[in-house]
Amino acid sequence: MQHGNSSNSNRNNNIINDTNNGNTTNCDTVPQPCMVREQDQYMPIANVIRIMRRILPAHAKISDDAKETIQECVSEYISFITGEANERCQREQRKTITAEDVLWAMGKLGFDDYVEPLTVFLSRYRENENERTSLRGEPILKRGIDYGQMMMAPYGPAFHMGHHQGMFDAAATAMGGYFRDASGAAGSSSPASLTKNFDPFGQFK
């Protein structure tokens, strides 16, 4: 079992024949899984480790192969969910995979415990975006991303969120105060309370 010293593995080193930012492989002629490990198909290992450390007690150690395995599992997770979400889009003849599609796929594939916290996360993100936009006095426009599909089949009652003109659908009552009333005043969250309760975007402030 590989331990400790990461110089034993070449997973984090540049590919020997690399001439193109780590995107070249040795496997051009063979349509088989490559033995070369390209880092850009994984989440950065430092980020993975940091998240693991939130769970583990301070004295815990993590072997290098465990870190790498979990790193690979994350990418597999993304592919797995995306595949299901993409199939749904194709069945419904839509071209764009939306956040709602991703949440739906997670529920379908057994990760329904994640759906509610992710829904809260997403609604707060949207509200944060709206506040940042309106503070600058800009109209809330489509950003060149295809948001046209976001009104499709909302996932569950808590996710009835439209994004047209930046007005949240008032039917999002399951979310409590996460929508604007007609006067444009924010819901129950102010930037300060966002920071206090849940601040995934600290670096934005």
Partner 1 sequence: MRQARTYSGILSGGISGRTGPHLLPLARIKKIMKKSGDDVKMISGEAPIVFSKACELFIEELTQRSWMVTMRGKRRTLNKEDVTSAVIATDIFDFLLNLVSDTGNSVEAAPLEMDISKSS
Of residues 158 through 177, those in contact with partner 1 by CB under 8 A are none
With respect to partner 1, which residue has the nearer C-beta, 15 or 115? 115
Which uninterrupted H or E stretch holds 103? helix 99-108
Residue of the chain from 25, 82, 174, 191 that contacts partner 1 (CB under 8 A): 82
**150 Cβ partners below 8 Å, 6+ apart?**
98, 99, 100, 161, 162, 163
Q: Which residue number, 74 or 171, has a Cβ lying nearer to partner 1?
A: 74
Among 144, 182, 185, 197, binds partner 1 (CB under 8 A): 144
CB of 66 to partner 1, least distance (A): 5
Q: What CA–CA distance (Å, rounded) separates 97 from 147?
A: 10
91 near partner 1, judged by CB under 8 A: no
Q: Which of 150, 151, 167, 174 binds partner 1 (CB under 8 A)?
A: 150
- Restricted to residues 40-79, the positions that interact with partner 1 (CB under 8 A) are 40-44, 46-48, 50-52, 54-56, 59-63, 65-66, 69-70, 72-79
- CA atoms of 130 and 43, how far apart (whole Å): 28
Alpha-carbon distances of 74 from 6, 41, 97, 172, 196, rounded to whole Å:
20, 10, 19, 31, 29
